[in-house]
């Protein structure tokens, strides 16, 4: 959800004062980095998992307020739309047996949410885009009544001079529409992986995550349909990039500074370059003024929270120490908890292995190639043709099997993760990749066999997911 705000309208003075405070806090962060004052600990991890509420007919159920009234767990929160929830986990050291603990925590939290949803006649679904979602479901009336969301909608439209948001996606089929609100964003639900990293190594981890983004978006692809059209294997990527574009240029990814996008380049200087970029190049969306000292970085964090790079640096001040984290946002939600934790294990292992390499990532794979790989993988999934280190070219699925799964195993071993905790999850990725059986592939195959009834597809998906079996074992 990000930081809560208390108002939806802002004055020129609010914008001016927010800019002043943002500059002060950005300079303070620079001094902390230069003086070595940031927290420096063994890497830790945690995640956010977004979910859908679905009614008995397989359609979105706008009931998150009723569901949340029935639960007392602060780790279960609302999201932009009334038919979405977010499940958050605790923080785990990236050592020992973190993944079995993570799965147990998530399964318990999902069980609480499912029980509450069941009392309201709804179910929980984990997928990147709900197959049965209709454009008529995406209205301001379906927005969670929160000042943050209302202000976000107002400010995006204001920056666009009230011009509609244009959505244009070319995939297997074509989709074109326009919107006068930001509710398209609500159609995109994801797995957001966090890793706290030592400041001196932050750029290494970040750049490794950038390079891995093609593999992670492809192996976790779970969003082939939007409004009944078959588009990309991970349609959530172009959809989110266009959903909050504050200019027409952003919609076409014409430049590196889009509000949602792959970013402007690799990280450096403990990722400080991105916070400078935030202040200098991204218009303010939520200039809420906080009555907190500069050392809390409240304004810097709020502004950063309105810029959705697919790999995003984060800072948080805990007990007077500033912690630096990286958020990997490219993976779709679902299909099951076993799939989710397998996706997490693959990312954490591979990113730790690649970050340990001595050669700078920019020398191993130019940024523009990492970016091209990412969009190819989002569009074509495991069948995407990508370019790897040393000019190697091939299919993404083969790259994962031959290079990145061994890297993930090495990385987790290097971090001290027990082999018995890592292997079951990485084996899921190995089997899924060998069969080409992602969530997106299963959805498309189901439609080819049974026809294009998106509500029936949704119900069939929920039935399979309820077994807990990972998606590569699902029957059609």
Closest CA to 367 of 476, 206, 223, 241: 206
Residue 187 counted as domain residue? yes
Which element (helix H / strand E) includes 308? strand 308-309
Residue 426 counted as domain residue? yes
What pLDDT digit, counting tens, does each position of 368-390 carry? 999 999 999 999 999 999 999 99
pLDDT above 70 for 247: no
What pLDDT digit, counting tens, does each position of 377-435 carry? 999 999 999 999 999 999 999 999 999 999 999 999 999 999 999 999 999 999 999 99
Where in 183-231 does DSSP place strands (E)?
190-196, 225-226, 229-230
Residue 114 counted as domain residue? no
- The rounded distance, in Å, linking the Cα atoms of 409 and 393 is 23
What pLDDT digit, counting tens, does each position of 320-362 carry? 999 999 999 999 999 999 999 999 999 999 999 999 998 999 9
pLDDT above 50 for 148: yes
- The rounded distance, in Å, linking the Cα atoms of 57 and 251 is 34
Cβ count near 6 (within 10 Å): 10
Report pLDDT for 251. Answer: 43
DSSP string, 31-81: HHHHHT-S---S-EEEEEEEEEEEETTSSB---HHHHHHT---TTEEE-SB
Report pLDDT for 255. Answer: 54
**What six digits make up the tokens of 314?**
């984060």
45 contacts: CB under 8 Å, gap ≥ 6: 91, 92, 94, 98, 193, 194, 195, 196, 344, 348
Local confidence band at 2 (pLDDT 50, 70, 90 cut-offs): low
| pTM of the complete model beyond 0.85 | yes
Local confidence band at 250 (pLDDT 50, 70, 90 cut-offs): very low
Write the CA distances from 287 to 8, 26, 258, 306, integer angstroms.
Answer: 10, 15, 19, 11
Residue 105 counted as domain residue? no
Average pLDDT along the chain? 95
Residue 127 counted as domain residue? no
Largest CA distance in the chain: 62
Residue 121 counted as domain residue? no
Report pLDDT for 9. Answer: 87
Average confidence (pLDDT) over 437-457: 98
Q: Are strands 308-309 and 260-261 parallel, antiparallel or unpaired?
A: parallel
- The rounded distance, in Å, linking the Cα atoms of 254 and 260 is 12
Average confidence (pLDDT) over 163-185: 96
Report pLDDT for 356. Answer: 96
- Can you say whether the dihedral through the CA atoms of 127, 371, 29, 194 is positive or negative? positive
- The rounded distance, in Å, linking the Cα atoms of 355 and 275 is 21
How much helix, strand and coil, in percent to the nearest 5, is found in the chain?
50, 20, 30
Cβ 413 vs Cβ 422: under 8 Å: yes
**Number of compact structural domains in the chain:** 1
pLDDT above 50 for 253: no
Residue 362 counted as domain residue? yes
Cβ count near 475 (within 10 Å): 8
Report pLDDT for 234. Answer: 98
What pLDDT digit, counting tens, does each position of 70-111 carry? 999 999 999 999 999 999 999 999 999 999 999 999 999 999
Give residue 399's domain range: 13-44+151-462
Residue 280 counted as domain residue? yes
Phi and psi torsions of 289, nearest 5°: -95, 130
- CATH number of the domain within which 167 lies: 3.30.590
Average confidence (pLDDT) over 201-211: 97
Which element (helix H / strand E) includes 433? helix 419-435
């Amino acid at each position: 959800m990000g930081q809560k705000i208390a108002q939806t309208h802002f004055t020129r003075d609010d914008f001016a004062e927010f800019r002043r405070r943002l500059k002060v806090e950005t300079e303070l962060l620079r001094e902390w980095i230069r003086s070595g004052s940031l927290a420096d600990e063994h890497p830790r991890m945690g995640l956010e998992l977004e979910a859908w509420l679905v009614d008995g007919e397989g359609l979105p159920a706008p009931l998150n307020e009723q569901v949340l009234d029935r639960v007392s767990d602060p780790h279960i929160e609302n999201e932009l739309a009334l038919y979405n929830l977010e499940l958050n986990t605790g923080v785990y050291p990236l050592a020992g047996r973190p993944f079995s603990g993570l799965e147990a925590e998530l399964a318990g939290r999902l069980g609480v949410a499912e029980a509450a949803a069941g009392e309201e006649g709804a179910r929980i679904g984990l997928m990147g885009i709900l197959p049965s979602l209709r454009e008529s479901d995406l209205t301001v009336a379906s927005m969670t009544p929160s000042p943050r969301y209302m202000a976000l909608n107002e400010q995006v439209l204001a920056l666009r001079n009230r011009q509609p948001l244009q959505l244009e996606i070319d995939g297997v089929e074509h989709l074109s529409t326009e919107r006068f609100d930001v509710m398209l964003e609500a159609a995109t639900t994801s797995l957001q992986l966090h890793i706290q990293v030592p400041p001196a190594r932050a750029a290494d981890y970040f750049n490794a995550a950038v390079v891995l983004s093609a593999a992670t978006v492809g192996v976790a692809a779970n969003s082939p349909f939007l409004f009944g059209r078959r588009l990309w294997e991970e349609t959530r990527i172009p959809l989110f990039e266009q959903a909050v574009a504050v200019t027409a240029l952003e919609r076409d990814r014409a430049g590196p500074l889009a509000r949602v996008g792959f970013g402007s380049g690799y990280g450096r200087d403990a990722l400080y370059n991105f916070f400078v970029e935030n202040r200098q190049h991204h218009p303010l969306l939520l200039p809420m003024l906080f009555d907190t000292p500069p050392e809390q970085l409240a304004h810097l964090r709020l502004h950063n929270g309105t810029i959705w790079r697919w790999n995003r640096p984060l800072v948080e001040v805990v007990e007077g120490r500033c912690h630096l984290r990286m958020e990997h946002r490219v993976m779709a939600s679902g299909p099951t908890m076993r799939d989710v934790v397998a996706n997490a294990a693959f990312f954490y292992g591979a990113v730790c292995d690649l970050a340990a390499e001595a050669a700078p990532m920019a020398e191993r794979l130019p940024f523009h190639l990492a970016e091209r790989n990412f969009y190819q993988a989002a569009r074509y999934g495991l069948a995407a043709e990508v370019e790897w280190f040393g000019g190697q070219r091939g299919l993404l699925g083969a790259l994962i099997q031959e290079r990145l799964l061994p890297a993930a195993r090495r990385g987790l071993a290097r971090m001290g993760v027990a082999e018995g905790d890592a292997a079951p999850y990485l084996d899921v990725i190995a089997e899924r990749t060998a069969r080409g059986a992602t969530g997106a592939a299963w959805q498309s195959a189901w439609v080819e066999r049974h026809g294009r009834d998106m509500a029936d597809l949704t119900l069939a998906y929920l039935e399979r997911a309820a077994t807990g079996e990972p998606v590569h074992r699902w029957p059609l």
